[in-house]
């Protein structure tokens, strides 16, 4: 029996400020105590416990399964015979390597949430149960405290009307005896809500740090400043506000209500980065461009493809005039051979990205020919170190402008902020749609030498099992955040499954006739049995029969056929039957009647077409051929 256990986890900074627990490890354990029923009915808030590392080690032998949550805090367990699970209660633990706003160097932490007896519901695919849980504020903030992570959540409204104020920046400060410490800032959303994350180091440091860190009390003493998008102050609190009971020595989680007299003049919200396509294929599942296996969806005019080579990850970026500084990155993880369990998540850093044209820099440059400023444009790149533009000036040296954004060690790419489209200015960035060009061969590449052991693979022989590939499925995450506060932006998304295929085979073709060793992404090997048998030299004349020897293999071969070239009439082409990406001729070869052919020279062809794409339909070099000539006597 199959059991599908789905869930979503969040932690409460305060009741109106939940945060999705993304990237945390959810662990299920078999219960140790005999009173499982009593444990299972106890409220989760009463069974929460932070565990010591020895306690975690002690229960390792009872581990049933573990998965990592996605960006929304969602997780899915597939349980059954492999885990020797039959629907009983289990302990549910959470393991955090870090939390948002955590101090550097913090140790991982594990806590027990509850003992749960899922309420299984029968479906066509087995038994299903769902569980959604928000960790109460006092428990979740205790976890965050272990990471020295501090957070302020709040809302900005218009004082008289209580209308939420969108698009203003809230800055938080700690009033200290020696100096006031800026803790961070956050932008309000459409509901006026904001969040500021900071670590303890933000308010413990002094002008004498790191030699002397001085903070008289446990937490900071808060006061705020609110600014419009253009920096105009809308609220400036007095430092004395930080000494009031509600603001003094606050805890790791703090929520606040702020108001301003009047909302600033309405401004357009900044464009949010979004991952929309892999080439022509939409990421949004509502388009139906991807199958559940991670291939493109077959249509009347197109096949179902796996992806190969360098693929364009396409989406939306703000232009240089955006009021918000943002950055983005991709992350990737590979599924196991079953396509159900994800491995380690990897940041898509510079080594995985081809130099990518993401937009244009529009600028005014001086034309000596016309003695006037003229509008021009230059390519703007990601991961193209050293790319610069020299903008001619009426006098003096040209203005040198970088037209490249590097990728940092965690994969983050800053969206260009150039916004000075005036004569003598540095120009304005205009996005064109590309986010990054991913080098899939750096994630999966399989090379097999089929010439070894000698004499190697011959036409008509099947590939050995170790040389056969599988569907390498991956998950792609797209993340965007404010480049100043590092707060995640709401439009981060993911492509749940996409298949990459990069194979390379080295093999010998028809050694008795114009033989050669080839390297190709597929095995397409042809011979004629009458030309390779005992005593044959590859040049004998054929009579009434031909036995075609062939081997075709690629995990995503779409079709293959054998056909003739020469003076008509010719035997009909033969479509080959493919099983798991392979077609092998029957023992002795495929019998073809050539008795109707006139004495002459002919060419026998083998053709195979692969179902691969680099993002824009089937790749141009998808078809591979082999051929061999013979004479009819």
Q: pTM, whole model, 2 decimals?
A: 0.63
Cα 199 to Cα 16, 137, 142: the distances in Å are 22, 18, 14
The pLDDT of residue 208 is above 70? no
Kindly report, residue by residue over 523-532, the tens digit of the pLDDT: 999 999 999 8
Q: Is pLDDT larger for residue 205 or for residue 297?
A: 297
Domain boundary among 145, 173, 188: 145
User: Would 567 be classed as within a structural domain?
Assistant: yes
Buried b (16+ CB within 10 A) or exposed e, 140-156: bbbbbebbbbbbbbbbb
User: Would 126 be classed as within a structural domain?
Assistant: yes
Kindly report, residue by residue over 502-521, the tens digit of the pLDDT: 999 999 999 989 889 999 99
Kindly report, residue by residue over 224-259, the tens digit of the pLDDT: 999 987 788 999 999 999 999 999 999 999 999 999
- Structurally, how many domains does the chain consist of? 4
The pLDDT of residue 211 is above 50? no
Confidence class for position 37, pLDDT limits 50, 70, 90: low
Q: What 8-state DSSP symbol labels residue 37?
A: H
User: Would 268 be classed as within a structural domain?
Assistant: no
543 and 491 inside one domain: no
317 and 418 inside one domain: yes
Residue 203: which H helix or E strand, with range?
helix 201-204
CATH of the domain at 604: 2.60.40.10
The pLDDT of residue 209 is above 50? no
Query: What is d(CA 204, CA 550) in angstroms, rounded to the nearest whole number?
Result: 74
Residue 139: which H helix or E strand, with range?
helix 137-146
Confidence class for position 212, pLDDT limits 50, 70, 90: very low
| pLDDT at residue number 216 | 47
The pLDDT of residue 451 is above 50? yes
Kindly report, residue by residue over 538-549, the tens digit of the pLDDT: 678 999 999 999
Instruction: Assess contact for 165 and 190: CB atoms under 8 A.
Output: no
Task: Please list, in sequence order, all residues whose beta carbon lies within 8 angstroms of the beta carbon of residue 246, skipping any fewer than 6 positions away.
Answer: none
The pLDDT of residue 427 is above 60? yes
How far is C-alpha 288 from the geometric centre of its chain's CA atoms? 19
13 and 132 inside one domain: yes
User: Would 542 be classed as within a structural domain?
Assistant: yes
- Residues of the domain holding 619: 503-632
Cα 569 to Cα 573, 574, 607: the distances in Å are 12, 15, 20
Q: What 8-state DSSP symbol labels residue 136?
A: -
347 and 414 inside one domain: yes
Q: What angle (nearest 5°) sits at the alpha carbon of residue 172, between those of residues 71 and 165?
A: 70
User: Would 267 be classed as within a structural domain?
Assistant: no
Closest residue by Cα to residue 518 from 628, 626, 608, 441:
626
52 and 28 inside one domain: yes
Percent of the chain with pLDDT over 70: 94
């Amino acid at each position: 029996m199959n059991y599908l256990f789905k869930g979503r986890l969040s932690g409460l900074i305060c009741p109106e400020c939940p945060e999705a627990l993304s990237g945390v490890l959810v662990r299920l354990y078999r219960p140790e105590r005999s009173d499982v029923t009593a444990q299972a009915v106890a409220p989760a808030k009463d069974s929460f416990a932070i565990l010591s590392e020895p306690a975690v080690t002690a229960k390792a032998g009872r581990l049933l399964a573990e998965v990592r949550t996605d960006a929304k805090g969602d997780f899915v367990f597939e349980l059954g015979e492999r885990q020797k699970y039959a629907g009983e209660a289990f302990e549910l633990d959470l393991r955090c390597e870090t939390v948002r706003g955590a101090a550097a160097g913090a140790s991982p932490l594990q806590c027990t949430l509850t003992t749960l007896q899922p309420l299984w519901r029968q479906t066509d695919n087995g038994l299903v149960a769902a569980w959604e849980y928000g960790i109460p504020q006092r428990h979740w903030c205790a976890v965050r405290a272990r990471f020295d992570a501090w957070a302020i959540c709040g809302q900005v409204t218009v004082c008289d009307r209580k209308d939420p104020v969108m698009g203003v920046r809230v800055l938080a400060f700690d009033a200290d005896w020696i100096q006031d410490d800026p803790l961070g800032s956050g932008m309000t959303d459409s509901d006026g809500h904001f969040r500021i994350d900071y670590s303890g180091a933000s308010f413990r440091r002094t002008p004498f740090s790191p030699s002397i860190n001085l903070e008289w009390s446990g937490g900071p003493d808060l006061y705020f400043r609110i600014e419009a998008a253009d920096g105009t102050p809308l609220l400036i609190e007095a430092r004395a506000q930080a000494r009031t009971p509600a603001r003094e020595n606050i805890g790791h989680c703090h929520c606040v209500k702020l108001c301003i007299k009047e909302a600033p003049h309405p401004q357009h919200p900044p464009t949010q980065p979004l991952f929309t396509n892999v080439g022509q294929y939409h990421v949004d599942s509502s388009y139906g461009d991807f199958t559940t296996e991670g291939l493109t969806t077959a249509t009347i005019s197109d096949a179902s493809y796996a992806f190969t080579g360098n693929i364009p990850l396409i989406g939306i970026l703000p232009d240089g005039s955006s009021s918000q500084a943002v950055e983005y990155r991709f992350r990737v993880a590979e599924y196991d051979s079953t396509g159900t369990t994800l491995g380690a998540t990897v940041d898509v850093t510079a080594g995985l990205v081809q130099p990518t044209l993401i937009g244009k820099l529009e600028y005014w440059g001086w034309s000596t020919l016309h003695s006037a400023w003229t509008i021009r444009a230059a390519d703007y790149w990601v991961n193209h170190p050293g790319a610069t533009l020299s903008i001619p000036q009426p006098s003096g040296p040209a203005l040198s402008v970088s037209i490249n954004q590097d990728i940092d060690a965690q994969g983050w790419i800053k969206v260009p902020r150039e916004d000075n489209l005036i004569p003598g200015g540095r120009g304005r960035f205009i996005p064109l749609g590309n986010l990054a060009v991913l080098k899939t061969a750096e994630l999966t590449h399989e090379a097999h030498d089929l010439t070894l052991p000698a004499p190697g693979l011959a036409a008509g022989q099947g590939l050995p099992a170790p040389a056969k590939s599988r569907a390498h499925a991956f998950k792609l995450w797209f993340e965007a955040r404010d480049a100043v506060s590092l707060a995640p932006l709401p439009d981060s998304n993911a492509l749940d499954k996409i298949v990459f295929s990069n194979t390379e085979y080295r093999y010998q073709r028809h050694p008795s006739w114009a033989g050669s060793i080839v390297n190709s992404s597929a095995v397409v090997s042809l011979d004629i049995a009458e030309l390779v048998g005992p005593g044959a030299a590859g040049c004998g004349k054929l009579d009434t029969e031909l036995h075609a020897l062939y081997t075709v293999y690629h995990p995503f071969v779409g079709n293959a056929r054998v056909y003739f070239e020469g003076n008509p009439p010719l035997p009909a082409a033969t479509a080959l039957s493919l099983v798991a990406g392979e077609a092998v001729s029957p023992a002795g070869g495929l019998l073809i009647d050539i008795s109707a052919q006139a004495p002459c020279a002919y060419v026998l062809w083998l053709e195979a077409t692969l179902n691969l794409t680099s993002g824009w339909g089937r790749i141009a070099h998808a078809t591979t051929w082999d051929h061999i000539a013979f004479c009819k006597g």
